[in-house]
Amino acid sequence: MAGNGRILVLACALWLALVAPAGASQKYAFADPVTGELMTHGYVERNRPGDVRVAVASGFNLEPHRWRWTGTQWAPFVPAPTPEEARLMALRTHVDAVLADPVVPPKLKDVLNAIKDFLR
């Protein structure tokens, strides 16, 4: 009977050693609470205060800052352009409109194309 007790204790110890740490190795992704933007992921319990923690599979490898959490799934994330990026986009649009105008002289079009290439 004493032998069975030792086996039971050994089995419990083995179970605690192998199974219990598996729960501690859960991988999490952390999203910004306002935008849902994926900030980081890994085997940690917390990231920044307030970040939304989402349990993910161990093979989860989405690139941070390119995905956002919708509350049920991950979706591609395209951040809003900065004010400078927005001004450059507007300028490119205006240059394209001038380049499309048939009355604009070819030399001016060459200059505008060079400026447009520089702005990329």
pLDDT in tens, the chain (120 residues): 556 666 655 554 544 444 444 445 899 999 999 999 999 999 989 888 889 999 999 999 999 999 999 999 999 988 888 999 999 989 889 999 999 999 999 999 999 999 888 877
Decide if 99 is inside a domain: yes
Decide if 75 is inside a domain: yes
Kindly state whether residues 75 and 44 are assigned to the same domain: yes
The total number of structural domains in the chain stands at 2
Q: Minimal CA–CA distance to 69: which of 89, 52, 87, 86?
A: 52
pLDDT for the residue numbered 101: 92
Tell me if 36 sits within 8 A of 62, measured CB to CB. no
21 by DSSP, 3-state: which? helix
Tell me if 25 sits within 8 A of 43, measured CB to CB. yes
pLDDT for the residue numbered 20: 45
Decide if 103 is inside a domain: yes
Decide if 112 is inside a domain: yes
Range of the domain at 66: 25-79
Kindly state whether residues 54 and 93 are assigned to the same domain: no
pLDDT for the residue numbered 8: 57
